[in-house]
Amino acid sequence: MAFLADILSRVQPSATIAVAQKARELKAQGRDVISLGAGEPDFDTPDNIKDAAKAAIDRGETKYTPVAGIPELRKAIAEKFSRENGLDYDWQQVIVGTGGKQILFNAFMATLNPGDEVIIPAPYWVSYPEMVAICGGESVFPETHLEDNFKLRPEALEAAITGKTKWLVFNSPSNPSGAAYTKDEIKALTDVLMRHPNIWVLTDDMYEHLVYRGFVYHTPAQVEPGLKDRTLTMNGVSKAYSMTGWRIGYAAGPKSLVKAMETIQSQQTSGPASISQWAAVEALTGPQDFIEKNKAIFQGRRDLVVSMLNQANGLTCPTPEGAFYVYPSCAGLIGKTAPSGKVIETDEDFVTELLDAEGVAVVHGSAFGLGPNFRISYATSEEALTEACTRIQRFCGNCK
C-alpha cells in the first residue's frame, strides 16, 4: 500500500516557484542570472504600515485572533469594498486568510464535490487548477488569444459551460498576461452568467490597483449587481501595498459561503498572524498616495519591456493593461536552433535555452496553460530589465 496520497498524482509543483528557485541556485554557483520569474513587487512595505505593525507588537496584539480575522480589519475591508468598488457588505460577510491562496483554496474546499467543474480561462495562474484538483473538482480551460489581448470572449465562456459547472474563476488584471477587462467586456461575460443561475463567480482582484494609462477598474459584482449573491470577491494587500511576506488575503461574499470557509479555516490554520492583520488595517485605512507613484514606475517598466521585446527576432508582445507581467509569444522561434545546437520545439525549450545561454530566468507559457509564450515579471529595476531584454534580443538573434 502506497504511503503518499493518490491526489499527489494530479498535482504539479508551482512552476513560478521552481523558476525562482533555479535562478537562486545558479546565482549561488556564481552565474550571472537575472530572474524575471517572481510575481513580487520590488518596493519595500511603506513605513506607516511597518510602524503600525510595531505598534501592535508594543500593545501586546500577539495572541490568537478570531478565525475569520479581527473585527477592525474585516470592517476596514468592508469599507474598502464600498469606497472603491461600490459593493456593500456587512463586515461579517468578510473573511481574512493567510494570503489570497488560502482564500481561494478554502472556497474550493467548501464548495467542490467530485466531478464539479471550474472554468479557468487560459492562460491562468498556475495554482488555480492545482487547487481545484486537490479539492476533487475538474478544471475546464477555455483559451484566449493574443489578438484579443488574452481576454475571454463571451462565446468561449458559453461553450465551456456544462451541467457540472460550479465556478468561473475571473482574474483581472491577469497573472500571467496582465490583461484587464473593461466594464463593457465584463458586462458581456456577466450577461452569459445571468443565463446560468447555478454558476458562481470567484474573482481574483489581487492586481486591482495596478492598471495603467487611465484604465478604469471594475469587478464583476459591481458591473452586474444580479451576480452579487453568487460571487466571492477576493483581494489582498500583497501586490499594491508591497506586503507579499505579510500573508494577508481577504474576500467578501454571501454569509453562508463565508461561514463555510471559516469552518474550513478553523481546522486548518485558524486566524492569520495578528501583527500582519494590524498592518493590513493601516494599509487599507492609511495614506494611499504611494500607490500612484509605484504605478507610474511600473508603467514605465512595462513600456520599456514591451518595446524591447517587440524588437527581438521572433517575439510578439502585446501591451497589457495591468499587473506587472507581459506574456509574449515566441511562436516565431519554434523550430529554430538555439546557440547550443538544440532545436527549440516548445516554449519550455525556449526558456531553458535562454537561461543556459544568457542567464535570464522567465517562466514558460505552457505552465500557465497557453503557449508558445513565456511570462516576464517586470517588478524589478529598469537597469535589470534593460540588461535582461538586451540578452533576450541577443539570444533570439542567435537562433537560426
Distance CA 152, CA 142 (A): 8
Return the C-alpha cell found at 124: 491562468
> Residue-wise over 198-214: b if at least 16 C-beta within 10 A, else e?
ebbbbbbbbbbbbbbee
C-alpha cell at 160: 465551456
- The total of other beta-carbon atoms located within 10 Å of residue 118's CB is 27
- DSSP tag of 226: G
Query: Could you identify the residue written with the cell 520590488?
Result: 42
Largest CA distance in the chain: 64
Whole-number Å distance between alpha carbons of 131 and 109: 9
Task: Tell me the C-alpha to C-alpha distance, in Å, between residue 385 and each of 34, 203, 302, 325, 378.
Answer: 8, 30, 10, 12, 7
Dihedral Cα 145, 147, 148, 151, nearest 10 deg = 30
C-alpha grid cell for residue 178?
496582465
Give the residue from 234, 282, 268, 271 showing the smallest Cα distance to 101.
234
CATH class of 6-44+290-397: alpha beta
Give the tens place of pLDDT for each residue, 312-339: 999 999 999 999 999 999 999 999 999 9
Which CATH number applies to 62-285? Answer: 3.40.640.10
Q: The whole model's pTM is what?
A: 0.96
pLDDT in 10s for each residue of the chain, 400 residues: 889 998 888 888 777 777 778 888 888 888 899 999 888 999 999 999 999 999 999 999 999 999 999 999 999 999 999 999 999 999 999 999 999 999 999 999 999 999 999 999 999 999 999 999 999 999 999 999 999 999 999 999 999 999 999 999 999 999 999 999 999 999 999 999 999 999 999 999 999 999 999 999 999 999 999 999 999 999 999 999 999 999 999 999 999 999 999 999 999 999 999 999 999 999 999 999 999 999 999 999 999 999 999 999 999 999 999 999 999 999 999 999 999 999 999 999 999 999 999 999 999 999 999 999 999 999 999 999 999 999 999 999 999 9
Asked whether the bond before 123 is cis by omega within 30 degrees of 0, the reply is yes
- H or E element: which one contains 377? strand 374-377
Q: b or e along 25-47 (b: 16 or more beta carbons within 10 Å of the residue's beta carbon)?
A: ebeeeeeebbbbbbbbbbeebbe
Domain boundaries in the chain? Answer: 6-44+290-397, 62-285
Residue 42 cell numbers, joined = 520590488
Residue with cell 529595476: 381
Q: What would the pLDDT profile of 246-288 be if each residue is shown by its tens digit? A: 999 999 999 999 999 999 999 999 999 999 999 999 999 999 9
* CA-CA-CA-CA torsion sign (116, 118, 119, 122): negative
Concatenating the DSSP letter of every residue in 146-210 gives GGGTT---HHHHHHH--TTEEEEEEESS-TTT-----HHHHHHHHHHHHT-TT-EEEEE-TTTT-
Alpha-carbon span 21 to 23, nearest angstrom: 5
Q: Which three cell numbers stand for residue 99?
A: 494570503
Q: Check if the beta carbon of residue 122 is closer than 8 Å to that of residue 171.
A: no
**What is the helix, strand, coil percentage profile of the chain, to 5?**
45, 15, 40
Whether residue 121 is preceded by a cis peptide bond, meaning omega within 30 degrees of 0, is: no
In residues, how long is the chain? Answer: 400
Strands, E, within 237-343: which ranges?
249-252, 325-326
Per-residue burial over 339-362, b if 16 or more Cβ lie within 10 Å, else e, is: eeeeebeebbbbbbbbbebbbbbb
Grid cell of 185 as nine digits: 467586456
Encoded amino acid at 52, one letter = A
